[in-house]
């Protein structure tokens, strides 16, 4: 543990240090990243996208009144091909019947003109353009509540606004690995449209909840393993980057264990079961025993690498140490920043939280609930077993047992 706070010469170095030592989320308000590609309006950027790409783009579409008895899982969404300019035009006459979004799109797939100038050097992280993701969506587009098993998340709000509801890692939400997506642990609670039971359960979490509204040019830092539910307030474009961390390697090992367990459950099941249990982006990622155990062995050897080799060099990725300063040391660095630059995301007032939940609960409809339950392709027994053996605490225990027993 450092005895004195180190001196950081540049603002970018200070921000980098604060991000890597974040224990609670914080926002940099009106913090312009000065990215050349976004000096134009959203309409101009979308028009340039259409010109450069010269083909229709596949958007996700979700009925706002369909499937609200569960979160808006990806398996429930349909697709629609259109240009980005057509997407914007639809928003002029949009109702609350459905939302449309480009979610989790890789920046590396964009033509250079559409990502010119994007880097995170103002925050102390450079050369990250191709590792970023962009999210373009309409009002009410939402990401079900989850936490990311890897990295610390930087989110830049480029256009429009988004609502972020966050919970600390120890919050007693109902973890589920159905749908299974590598690196994402979802909860079963539906914050978009809670039913009466969920409304009561979520209300009881009032002492855990944080919230912020991201405006244009705001930058949000989401610490490792913080739960978050994200919903667009209006047409929104945001960019995010997950900072690789040293402890991600053990998380990758645990995610490999989950992959082995989940895929063994679905291999003997029907196609309908596979589509229900696996997120759409995982359907073509099922590995053979030989392949997946090679991955497990590779990760194990990287974890057990001799200490003389820097952890940050493992797996050919630059990985960063995390939370290596104590809170007193980080406070000293915060005091060196310009006044008002950094804003801590604060706990939500109980009355405001309950009001938001009740407002969202008005979206819930029971019209299709019975049919949805009848169409569920797996039994509650199988669902409970999958979520039990893949629970984070159980997987952590398996990892420790494996390390005791396996000596190559």
Residue 71 lies in a domain: yes
pLDDT band at 365 (very low <50, low <70, confident <90, very high): confident
Tokens representing 9 are 């010469």
Confidence (pLDDT) at 370: 46
Q: Which range among 1-10, 27-36, 135-144, 374-383 shows the weakest confidence by mean pLDDT? A: 1-10
Confidence (pLDDT) at 94: 81
Give me the phi and psi of 116, to 5 degrees please: -60, 130
Q: 159 and 269 share a domain?
A: no
Q: 66 and 195 share a domain?
A: yes
Q: 238 and 275 share a domain?
A: no
Residue 258 lies in a domain: yes
Q: 100 and 193 share a domain?
A: yes
d(CA 141, CA 77): 11
Q: Is residue 316's pLDDT more than 80?
A: no
Q: Kindly report the CATH number assigned to the domain that includes residue 74.
A: 2.60.120.650
Q: 173 and 272 share a domain?
A: no
pTM: 0.93
CB 101 within 8 A of CB 59: yes
DSSP letter (8 states) at residue 107 = G
**Rounded average pLDDT over 324-332:** 95
Q: Is residue 372's pLDDT more than 60?
A: no
pLDDT band at 95 (very low <50, low <70, confident <90, very high): confident
Q: 57 and 141 share a domain?
A: yes
Confidence (pLDDT) at 351: 98
Q: 305 and 362 share a domain?
A: no
Q: 144 and 126 share a domain?
A: yes
Residue 163 lies in a domain: yes
Q: Which range among 181-185, 308-312, 362-366 shows the weakest confidence by mean pLDDT? A: 308-312
Q: Is residue 119's pLDDT more than 60?
A: yes
Q: 125 and 257 share a domain?
A: no
Of the chain, the end-to-end C-alpha distance in Å amounts to: 34
d(CA 118, CA 111): 12
Alpha helices (H) in 142-247, listed in sequence order: 196-203
pLDDT digits (tens, 9 = 90+) for 28-60: 999 999 999 999 999 999 999 999 999 999 999
Residue 2 lies in a domain: no
CA distances to 18, 67, 146 from 342, in Å: 10, 39, 25
Q: 17 and 155 share a domain?
A: yes
Find the length of the chain. Answer: 408
CA distances to 199, 260, 387, 388 from 273, in Å: 29, 16, 15, 18
List the beta bridge partners of residue 176.
186
Q: Is residue 194's pLDDT more than 90?
A: yes
**Rounded average pLDDT over 4-29:** 86
CA distances to 78, 213, 266, 296 from 98, in Å: 11, 22, 31, 41
Residue 310 lies in a domain: yes
Q: Is residue 337's pLDDT more than 60?
A: yes
Mean pLDDT over each residue of the chain, to the nearest integer:
91
Question: pLDDT > 90: what percent of the chain?
Answer: 83
Strand order in the sheet with 162-167: 175-181, 184-187, 142-148, 227-232, 162-167, 210-214
Tokens representing 52 are 């450069």
d(CA 281, CA 219): 28
**How many CB atoms sit inside 10 A of residue 64's CB?**
20
d(CA 169, CA 331): 22
pLDDT digits (tens, 9 = 90+) for 239-296: 999 999 999 999 999 999 999 999 999 988 899 999 999 999 999 888 888 999 999 9
Confidence (pLDDT) at 346: 95
Q: 106 and 253 share a domain?
A: no
Confidence (pLDDT) at 321: 95
Tokens representing 238 are 């945001």
pLDDT digits (tens, 9 = 90+) for 218-227: 999 999 999 9
CA–chain centroid gap for 194, Å, is 20
What's the domain count of the chain?
A: 2
**How many CB atoms sit inside 10 A of residue 145's CB?**
24
Residue 294 lies in a domain: yes
d(CA 108, CA 331): 36
**Rounded average pLDDT over 87-101:** 92
Q: 271 and 194 share a domain?
A: no
Q: Is residue 68's pLDDT more than 60?
A: yes
Range of the domain at 123: 11-245+326-377
């Amino acid at each position: 543990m450092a005895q004195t706070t180190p001196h950081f010469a540049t603002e970018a170095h200070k921000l980098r240090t604060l991000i890597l030592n974040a224990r609670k989320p914080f926002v940099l308000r009106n913090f312009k990243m000065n990215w050349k590609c976004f000096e134009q309006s959203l309409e101009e950027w979308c028009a340039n996208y259409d010109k450069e790409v010269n083909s229709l783009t596949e958007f996700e579409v979700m009925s706002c009144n369909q499937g609200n008895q569960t979160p808006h899982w990806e398996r429930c969404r349909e697709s629609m091909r259109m240009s980005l300019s057509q997407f914007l035009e639809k928003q002029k006459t949009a109702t609350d019947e459905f939302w449309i979004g480009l979610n989790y799109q890789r920046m590396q797939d964009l033509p250079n003109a559409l990502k010119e100038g994007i880097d995170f050097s103002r925050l102390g992280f450079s050369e990250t353009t191709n590792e970023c993701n962009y999210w373009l969506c309409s009002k009410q587009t939402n990401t079900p509540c989850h936490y990311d098993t890897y990295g610390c998340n930087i989110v830049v709000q480029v256009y429009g606004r988004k609502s972020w509801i966050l919970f600390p890692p120890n919050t007693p939400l109902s973890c589920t690995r159905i749908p299974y997506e590598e690196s994402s642990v979802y909860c079963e609670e539906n914050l978009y449209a809670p039913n009466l039971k969920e409304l009561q359960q979520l209300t009881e979490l009032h002492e855990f909840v944080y919230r912020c509204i991201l405006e244009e040019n705001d930058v949000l830092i989401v610490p490792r393993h913080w739960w978050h539910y994200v919903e667009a307030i209006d047409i929104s474009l945001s960019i995010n980057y997950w900072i690789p961390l040293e402890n991600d390697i053990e998380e990758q090992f645990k995610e490999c264990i989950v992959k082995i367990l989940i895929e063994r459950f679905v291999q003997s099941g029907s196609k309908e079961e596979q589509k229900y249990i696996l997120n759409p982006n995982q359907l073509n990622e099922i590995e053979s025993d030989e392949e997946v155990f090679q991955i497990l062995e590779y990760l194990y050897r990287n974890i057990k690498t001799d200490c003389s080799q820097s952890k940050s060099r493992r797996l050919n990725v630059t990985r960063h140490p995390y939370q290596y300063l104590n809170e007193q040391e980080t406070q000293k660095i915060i005091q060196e920043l310009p006044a008002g630059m950094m804003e801590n995301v604060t706990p939500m007032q109980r009355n405001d939280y309950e009001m938001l939940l009740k407002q969202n609960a008005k979206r819930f409809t029971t019209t299709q609930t019975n049919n949805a339950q009848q169409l569920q392709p797996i039994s509650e027994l199988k669902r409970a077993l999958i979520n039990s053996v893949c629970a984070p605490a159980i997987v952590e225990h398996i990892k420790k047992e494996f390390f005791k027993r396996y000596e190559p």
